[in-house]
Structures are given as structure tokens and as C-alpha cells.
Chains A and B, each alone.
Chain A
Amino acid sequence: MTSDPNKDSAGPPPKPASPQPASPGPLPLRHAGHHEWATALDHRDRTWWFDCIARLAVLGGGLSAILFIGAIFVFIASQGIDFALHHLNWLDFLFGKRWEPTVEPPEYGALPLIMGTCWITGVAMIIAVPLAFGAAIYIGEFARGRQREWLKILIELLAAIPSVVWGVIGLQVMKPIIQHVFGVQVGLNVLNAGIILGLMAAPIITTIAEDALKAVPETYREAAEALGASRWQVIWKVVLPHARPGLSAAVLLGIGRAFGETIAVLMASGHRLMIPESVFDSAATITATIAAELGEAAHGSEHYQVLFVLGLLLFGITFGINLTADWIVRGRRSRA
């Protein structure tokens, strides 16, 4: 609340916070100022109420995140926990090489899915990390002004492309290219899915890595340059070592992204339920398997439940990755 009459005179006459005492017509400005000052002592004006409500609304938003993650976990666990604890042979589940839930007797060996996920994520990271770090270093250390802003916007746009579009690119663009370039029969394979996932994860890694580079104090760069370091020596010897925790977190979050991606991988990987032996083999991932099979599994059946166990596994892995990333970043802050 301002009590400065000059300020009031600049704009339209101020709206009083509460109904004005009987006063015919607009008050002289000096008066208006006095009036506001007087009511400002009663702090429960419109701003105060607005603050209250806004605070509650924001608190609700914050709590809802906790609520939803809890509810999702409970739901997944409730669907799969009984089977996981009483009927599932965990050794066979984790190390069995055959995933045949629909034949009699069914086999629930998830190793092909786990290996498929790991292969594809691995290829994705081999592609994404150099690209993303290169982009982050360019944006953070070399690009200036407008160029830098444009690059950042473009990279955010890249992150906003729907995953089904990426899947179509894998299916329609990458497949013939891979067949042609490597002379292989099957174009939907680990390599294809890896490239697609790599391109999908790169923007996230770039954004977080750039933040990590930006967090390196400017004084370090200045000190190193004053000692005669070239631009690249500054980056290599000072900036990157100092940003290492943030960069690791960026990679981990990229891995988390790649792990959890479903539809693009389902479309590009060929979805073959066997352990891949090279990047040219088709493969299946945990996520794609859940997406492909949940619709046809009878509600409450063993097959249905084991898919939820897969979901729990996935949940655990991504949760672990994110926690580790968080821990790395926090750990370095508290040390610094």
C-alpha cells in the first residue's frame, strides 16, 4: 500500500480497499492518499485475502505431486504385489531368458526385456551424451546474446516433439536408412531405437548440462584466462571438472528418460522378445512390453499381474536413477 500522494496522481484514482465513507464524488488526491494510509493499518484488505488463497492453492499443487506419486505407487503395487510375493519365482523372473506369458505353461523370464532396455538405453546414451555435451558447451561457453537464446528455444522445442512422432521417424525414416547403410534385413532394431531415444534424451541432457556449466562461477574462468589459458583450456581444465556432478546428474536424468520411454521404442525397436546380440538385432524393452501386452491380458490374471511386477521394477529403477541424480547434485552443493 502506498501512501505517496504523488504516485497516486500518476495513474487513475486508486480504488479504495473497502467502501469509502460517504463522500460525494472523487476525493481530492491528497485525501485519497490519506485514506489509503488509514485503511492500510487494517491488514485484511483484498491483497491479504488474495495472498491467503494463493498460498493455499500453491500448497495444494505442491501436495498433489506427493499425493499422485504415492497413489500411483500404491496402485501398481496393489496389482502386482500379491503375485510378486507368493507366486513369482524371482530368480526365474530376473534371469529367465524366455518371456512367454501366453503359452502353457507360461514363462516369465524378464531378462530379454531387461537386456533390451539396457542395450537400447546404452546406444541412446552413446549418441546423446556427446551431442548434448557439445551443445551445452557451445551454448554455455561460446554462443552469445541472440544466438544463444535461439539455440535454447530450439532445443526446448526438440524436447517438446511428441514421442509418437519420434516413433514414426524411426519407422519411416531411420528404418530404410539403416537397412541401406548397414545392409541389414531388419531395420527396426536396437540401433534404430537407440538413435531415436538418443535424440529424444539429448535436449534434456543439454538443458541440465548447460545449467551445470552456468553454475561454475565466472571468477574461475577469469582466473584461468588471466593465467594464460585458452578458451578451450578454460573449459577443459576448469569448467568441466567443476561441473562434473551436474553433468553426471544430466546424464542420469537422460538415462531415466530413455528407460521410461515407451511408444517410440515400441515402434522403432522391432519388439522381439529375445536377448539382442548385436545392435542390429530387434529387441523389446520393459516399457514397450507392458504397453503391448496389458491390453490383451485378462484383468487379474497371472499375466496381468506379472506386467505390474514389471511396472514395479521399472518404477524402482527410474526412482533409483532420479534419486541418485538428486543426491549427486545436492551432495556437491552441501560440500561447496
Chain B
Amino acid sequence: MAEFTHPRTRIARPANDGPLAIEVQDLNLWYGKFQALFEVDLQIKSGIVTALIGPSGCGKSTLLRSCNRINERLGYVTTTGMIRVLGHDIYAPEASRIQVRRQVGMVFQRPNPLPLPIRDNVLFGYRLHHAGRSSRGEEDALVESALREVLLWDRVKDRLHQKATTLSLEEQQKLCIARLLPTKPTVLLMDEPCSALDPAATAAVEDLIWDLRGNYSILIVTHNMAQARRASDECVFMLMGRVVEHSATEDMFVAPQRRETSDYIEGRFG
């Protein structure tokens, strides 16, 4: 593995100079004394699905969790470098974590709806950010549009007051996506959103993610090569805390630029 220890990221700015959803510059991150990310530079374009792939422990979840600063929950995380979301430095001293999380929604590995009725789950984020009370009608409209967007409305419209934890895992994960939408985020982070789901549910959630593309910039961590291949526009391959390769998905799977990438994709390690 010694040959892998100094891969440097050399990625030209993407050819089409669209606005960047996320721009990571020289990001280093430590858990206590353990360094998990090394000099990460990355540009995630808006409106597309970008997949983060790599073996366990390569730092892809850590990178993802840095993008909405949820990593800081742990209390022993040190970060240097910069992450810009739509041009705003989210680690700037004046940046508020709460505003960051409104812009950058997150879906977790295991569906984690709150133990509240479905309706309250969808409105949870909205109510936090929306000062003052909104009318029932407004809230109803928000709930309906969010649930329609994740294709859940017809299945749950008659039981909005039932606890969200009674739904199936697939429905729960869709609900977890739906509850991000009322605060109108621009970026959605997904940390292996399908790993707790069966194949049919995985397909359904993947389809949904693909549908949301365009309206949102989606960064998705996945262990599943096939998933990265069929459900992403661009791929980022990480290894041991560094970004090794970042290219269009078809290029990465057809003609990887670096040996580590092809070894991983072909299943020679990881």
C-alpha cells in the first residue's frame, strides 16, 4: 500500500464553468489526534448527483459530514481549510451552523425519522427556521408538496398523524428526504441512504434521488459500486483520507486515470 500514501488531487476545474455547489479547499480534519482527511480539494457542481466512493474508513463519510458541520457534534473534531457552499464559507467565524444546515440537508444511513407524526416530521425543520406561526393551510400545502416530491403523498396522505416510526424503512427514508425540502435547501448530502434498504426499496430511493437531481445538488456516499455507476453524474474516489480521482462517472468506470481507482473498482481491494 506504500505506493498509495501520496496521491495528490490534481483535478482541473470542470470544463463547463457552472456555479459550484460545494467547493472544498485544502481541508484537513482530525478526530482527536487521528487525521482523517488530508488536503482535500474538491469542486462539486450544482444540479447533478456526485457520488463519493472508496473503501471503508477512507474518509468519505467524514468529508460528507463536514459539509453541514454535523461532525462538530462529536466535540473532538479539528478542521482546517475551507468549504464553500454556493460561495459562502461555512467555516467562517460568522457563519451560523443553523443557517448552514438549512441550506445543506442531510440524509443518514439508517432512516431516522423523529418519533413524531409524519406531518410533524415534514414540518420539523420548517418550524425551526420559520419565525412566527404559519397557518394550517400553509403548513398543509408544504407537507403535501414535500411528500409529493418524494412520491410518498398517495401512500401516507390518510395517515399523516400516525407516528413516522410505523412506516416501512423505504417510506421512512423517503420521509427523511421529504422533511429536508420545506426549508428549500440547495444541497442534499446522503450518507449511504440505501444501505439499510432491500433491493426494491433501494431502487425506489435511487429513482427518487435521480428525480431530485436538477433541483438540488446531491452528494451521495456509497459503498455500492453499481449504485455509484447507475445513479451518479460524477464520481469522486477517495483513499486513506485523500481524493484520488474525480471525473464523470462513465469515465471513471470505463477509463480510470489512476491505478488505485481501477484496482478498487475492479474489486482488487476494499
Residue numbers of A with Cβ under 8 A of B are 144, 219-230, 233, 237-238, 241-242
CA distance A241 to B70 in the complex (A): 23
**Given A219-B110, A223-B108, are A228 and B129 also a contact pair (CB < 8 Å)?**
yes
Q: Which residues from B are CB-within-8-Å of A233?
A: 128
Within 8 A of A (CB), among B85-103: 98-99, 101-102
Give 1 or 0 for each of B61-84: 1 = CB within 8 Å of chain A CB. 000000010100101000000000
B115 partner residues in chain A, CB cutoff 8 A: 220, 241-242
From A144, A220, A222, A237, contact of B70 by CB (8 A):
A222
Interface string of B203-240 (1 = CB under 8 A from A): 00000000000000000000000000000000000000
The answer to whether B128 and A238 touch across the interface, beta carbons within 8 angstroms, is: no
Contact of A230 among B98, B125, B176 (CB under 8 A): B98
How many residues on chain B are close to A (CB under 8 Å)? 24
> Known contacts A219-B112, A222-B108, A224-B124; can you find 15 more A-B pairs with CB under 8 A?
A144-B75, A220-B112, A221-B73, A222-B70, A223-B112, A223-B114, A225-B101, A226-B108, A227-B128, A227-B179, A227-B180, A228-B102, A228-B125, A229-B124, A237-B128
In the complex, chain B residues whose CB is within 8 Å of the CB of A222: 70, 73, 108, 112
Assembly CA distance A230 to B101 (angstroms): 11
Can you report 8 residue pairs joining A to B where beta carbons are below 8 Å apart?
Answer: A222-B73, A222-B112, A223-B176, A226-B70, A226-B106, A227-B101, A229-B124, A229-B128
> B105 in the interface, Cβ–Cβ < 8 Å?
yes
Alpha-carbon gap, A229 to B124, bound state (A): 9
| A103→B113 CA distance, assembly (Å) | 67
Residues of B within 8 A of A (CB): 68, 70, 73, 75, 98-99, 101-102, 105-106, 108, 110, 112-115, 124-125, 128-129, 176, 179-180, 183
Chain B nearest CB, measured from A243 CB (Å): 11
Which chain B positions have C-beta within 8 A of A230?
A: 98
Residue of A nearest to B179 (CB): A227
Residue contact B105 to A226, C-beta cutoff 8 Å: yes
Nearest CB in chain A: distance from B14 CB, A: 28
Residues of chain B lying within 8 A (CB to CB) of residue A238: 114
Q: Which residues of A contact B110 (CB under 8 A)?
A: 219
Chain A residue numbers with a CB within 8 Å of B180 are: 227
CA distance A241 to B102 in the complex (A): 23
Q: Which residues of A contact B101 (CB under 8 A)?
A: 225-228
Shortest 7 CB-CB distances between A and B: which pairs? A227-B125, A228-B101, A226-B106, A219-B112, A223-B112, A228-B102, A228-B98
- Which chain B residue lies CB-closest to A233? B128
CB contacts (< 8 Å) of B75 on chain A: these are: 144
Nearest A residue (CB) for B120: A237
Chain B proximity of A215: nearest CB distance (Å): 12
How far is it, in angstroms, between the C-alpha of A230 and the C-alpha of B96 when the chains are bound?
10
